[in-house]
Amino acid sequence: MTVAASSDNTDFICTKMNLLNCPHIRTLHPMPTAGNSAQLNTNVSNIETNRCHSKQPATTIWLPILPTNMVLRVNINQIEPATRDWICKVQIVEIGRPRESLDKKCTFQNLILEDEEECQIKAVMYTDEIEQYAATLKLFHTYLISTARVKASQASYGKPIHKFYWILDKETVIEQIKPSHEVEKALPPPTKLNITTFDRIPHLMVDSAAEIDILAIVLHCGPQKNAGRSHHRCREITLCDNQKSQFLFTLWEDFGEIEGHEIASKMATEPDLLVILARSIGISTYQGLSLQTRYNSTLRVNPNYPQAVALINWAKENKTMLLGCPSEKTSTSSSTAPMILTTGGQQLLSIAEISSAPSMGIFYVEAEMAILDDFQDFCVLECSGCKQKKRTKDRKDFDCPKCNRKTSLVPRCSFQIDLIDNTATTTASISADLGEKILSMTAEDIFDITCTKRQSLSLTHVHEMLSNKVFTIQLRKSSWGSSNTTHTTLSILSYTEKKHAPQTTTDRTSKKIKPLEITEVEVITTTTAAASSNAPPKFEPPTPTKKV
């Protein structure tokens, strides 16, 4: 006898008489529908018949008796757009707040669902359904969901967690499994997190579409501000992991206003450091490497995952160290060297360590500063609109292709300064207000002396001011390439004088090295960059470009 199944797996080409006349067939009770799922384990009946009187060995074939109202009980990975009449038991493990679409034409809400096998999928609700299920759909509650619309995921806004996603619309049946349910039991609290650790982030920067989930401690939350000429609203926070690596995290638009405000409020009132779970966030090359919210991102403060609880407890035990305060209990038996911190809580590195480090990012050093090249150019001309540097000394107006209008060139202070500690010497660039402060003159004055009058600057007072002083310096290490050559540079973002006796330096010129120019090789980042400080910086760098 040949038994064939139709494409939708609900009807079999077989008559009831044929089934009854075949003595070696066993039958199973059908799977329950969404309405009678409580009878899953209570009304199963098996019918066993005698073996056929045949010379061939009897073979047992199991066939379900499928009624016309059959609903298949499946897991997430078994569901495709063509799958019909299915029911899936899931738990809501993430529920975002309602947000406006990019075109401002509708409101949507993202959810992440997890089944009994810990497979996850994204679900979306729109305006009417958001209001309809507002009181029903809750975080970590379990539901039986029947026949949601299944769509193929698009990679336009990043890499999805599953090749499909669900739309919960008016035709979807959603039944909540309550604790009092006798047969269907609620799923246990979730434990699965697809977390990207901080040390892996530098390896993902080549993929601009990458979206990651992170679990991190919040060290500092900045104020809401507007980003440059684009005037996009944002808020910058500093994150840290349990290896004390830091990243800058930019919360764009409503994320800064809502989640950012929540974080700032809790940091002001709660004694312990906060931990956030950020899903579907992007990676930016701003300040070497940084993180930022994307269109589908979600943020949750102090989630109750086991991993988050462990990190919250670790942050509570190490709060003093993380914030840079001296600890009353200093271990002398540790085999690892103690981490040296600035007064703001950032890790201090030596110049030799920064010069040899392959990663880009923000670093802090304690070093002397000196200008060893007295005959360099101490200013450049840049577009007054886009701030693009121009290779000219003529200040006449010109048509800027980036600003798309006629504009003028303005001088900006910019020069090279040498940094010296007891490990090495290297050269960094300093510009704008920081450079003017060291030279004690404005960019206009510098341009007038060096370009208009074609005279050299008198730096005697600068050498005297910098002599025998040690500074805490915030550096940004960045790279740029041309052809097969990659160049790496250091830029000073802020500096403050250290109030104690300076270190002894001898023969600065003989120690001067140039470790930051790499030719004929490609820079591969392998370590995590530090982010902005907990204390307000002396110099605020421009805000990164927003990506959805």
> What's the average pLDDT block by block, 10 residues per block, for the chain (548 residues)?
41 38 40 42 39 44 45 90 93 91 87 94 92 90 93 73 91 88 87 88 65 92 77 87 88 91 92 93 76 89 92 92 54 39 67 76 88 90 83 82 82 94 92 91 92 90 92 82 66 84 47 40 35 40 56
Number of residues written out for the chain: 548
Whole-number Å distance between alpha carbons of 178 and 15: 41
HSE, side-chain direction, 13 A CA sphere, residue 48: 2
Beta bridge partners of 406: 399
pLDDT at 61: 42
Segments in 114-164 forming alpha helices (H): 127-132
Whole-number Å distance between alpha carbons of 346 and 51: 79
pLDDT at 49: 39
**Greatest CA span in the chain, whole angstroms?**
116
pLDDT at 138: 93
- Cβ neighbours of 498 (radius 10 Å): 18
Q: Decide: 256 and 263 in contact? Cβ < 8 Å.
A: no
> Amino acid identity, residue 83?
T
Whole-number Å distance between alpha carbons of 62 and 353: 69
pLDDT at 384: 83
pLDDT at 348: 83
Instruction: Quote the radius of gyration of the chain (alpha carbons, Å).
Output: 32
11: tokens are 């009807």
CA 279 to chain centre: 7
CA angle 412, 413, 416 (to 5 degrees): 135
pLDDT at 218: 94
Q: Where is 166: in which H helix or E strand?
A: strand 164-167
CA angle 515, 519, 524 (to 5 degrees): 80
Whole-number Å distance between alpha carbons of 146 and 32: 12
CA angle 540, 541, 545 (to 5 degrees): 130
Beta bridge partners of 126: 108
pLDDT at 439: 93
Whole-number Å distance between alpha carbons of 434 and 491: 11
SS3 category, 187: coil
Q: How far apart are the first and last CA of the chain?
A: 58
SS3 category, 280: strand
Q: Among candidates 328, 318, 324, 348, which has minimal Cα distance to 242?
A: 318
pLDDT at 70: 61
Q: Tell me whether strands 361-370 and 298-301 are parallel, antiparallel or unpaired.
A: unpaired
Q: Among candidates 270, 93, 248, 78, which has minimal Cα distance to 164?
A: 78
- Cβ neighbours of 164 (radius 10 Å): 17
Backbone angles phi, psi at 533, to 5 degrees: -80, 165
Whole-number Å distance between alpha carbons of 122 and 148: 12
Return all residues near 419 (Cβ < 8 A) that are at least 6 apart: 351, 365, 367, 368, 369, 425, 426, 427, 428, 473, 490
pLDDT at 209: 66
Q: Decide: 97 and 107 in contact? Cβ < 8 Å.
A: no
Whole-number Å distance between alpha carbons of 21 and 80: 36
> Amino acid identity, residue 299?
L
CA 366 to chain centre: 30
Whole-number Å distance between alpha carbons of 280 and 508: 48
CA angle 400, 403, 406 (to 5 degrees): 50
